[in-house]
Amino acid sequence: MRLLTLPAIAIVLALMVAPMAMLLRYSLNLYTPTELMVEAFTARNYVQLFADPYFREVLGVTLKVAALTTGIALLLGLPAGYTLARMPRRWKMWLTLATILPLMVGNVVRSAGWMALLGNSGLFNALAQWSGLAREPLQLMFHQPAVVGVMVTIVLPLMVMTLASVIEGIPRNVEEAAANLGARPFTAFRRVVLPQAMPGVIAGMSLVFILCMNAYATPVLIGGPRFRMMTPEIYQQFVGLNNWPFGAALAFMLLAVTLVAVLGIGMALQAGLRPARPTTPAGADAPRPAHRSATGSSPAGSGG
């Protein structure tokens, strides 16, 4: 059975581990304008990354945008995923199709579509000027709220489908039992459904957070040239400046920060919803299990 996993392990090593090792090795080299990359073994690129306030700000903006987008997508995805999971079958197929339909269009196309809506000559500004709400075009692009809003629309279908697939596996009778015990619908969802759906919450948040940390098209098209995130900055270092060692250091640092953040999200959510252990009051004896006799009957029931 283990031999069957060898091809998959070999593919992972060849397509994932080997490029990451090469990227790490590049990040330890030096950059010169004449030779571009000089073989070395130094941490100078990582020191420069943390010493330069500009790159610290870029990393901070990336983390902030990813965290905001993930949080908003979770708040919107939980009720949508619950509704999709509990919907009758005749409507569920159509709503599922409508949810996954945006995923068939690339991020570049969707971001370009939002440019047509948010631009100075876009639909929103045209409606605002026609209705008299604004005399001049509103600045709806090239700032952080616009980037976060568009990224939410891009990753929301993934969050909804991840949550719906997990909630669908939770039996309805647990909610009915909670209602019979006097719990309101929101209380039943928070105390009964949500803890059981936590694997889907962790998976959805991790997936969305990873995609947001590595977003490229939306920050470039919606944020503009002055809005900087890690992935466009990595592209600029590799392609624009030909500084492969520093670009590799940025990429490897982005990978490490994303991995640590995702692990932190999972551990924090699991710790927050872990049920508390029941405590025995002081001086009270813990219940003892009933001892059975050799014949298999309890002592109390062995008498006539």
242-295 confidence digits (pLDDT tens): 999 999 999 999 999 999 999 988 888 877 655 545 444 444 444 555 544 444
Question: Cα–Cα distance between 122 and 150 in angstroms, integer?
Answer: 15
In what helix (H) or strand (E) does residue 77 lie, and over which residues does it extend?
helix 53-86
Query: Taken in order 118, 123, 124, 125, is the CA torsion positive or negative?
Result: positive
The residue written with tokens 């269009």 in the block is 105
* Residue of higher predicted confidence among 29 and 5: 29
Q: What's domain 75-213's superfamily in CATH?
A: MetI-like (1.10.3720.10)
Q: Give the tens place of pLDDT for each residue, 64-121.
A: 999 999 999 999 999 999 999 999 888 888 999 999 999 999 899 999 999 999 988 8
Q: Give the tens place of pLDDT for each residue, 8-63.
A: 888 877 888 888 889 999 999 999 888 888 888 899 999 999 999 999 999 999 99
161: CB partners within 8 A, 6+ apart: 81, 96, 99, 100
How confident is the prediction for the chain on average, in pLDDT? Answer: 86
Burial per residue of 50-75, b for 16 or more beta-carbon CB atoms within 10 angstroms, e otherwise: eeeeebeebbebbbebbbbbbebbbe
Question: Cα–Cα distance between 73 and 210 in angstroms, integer?
Answer: 13
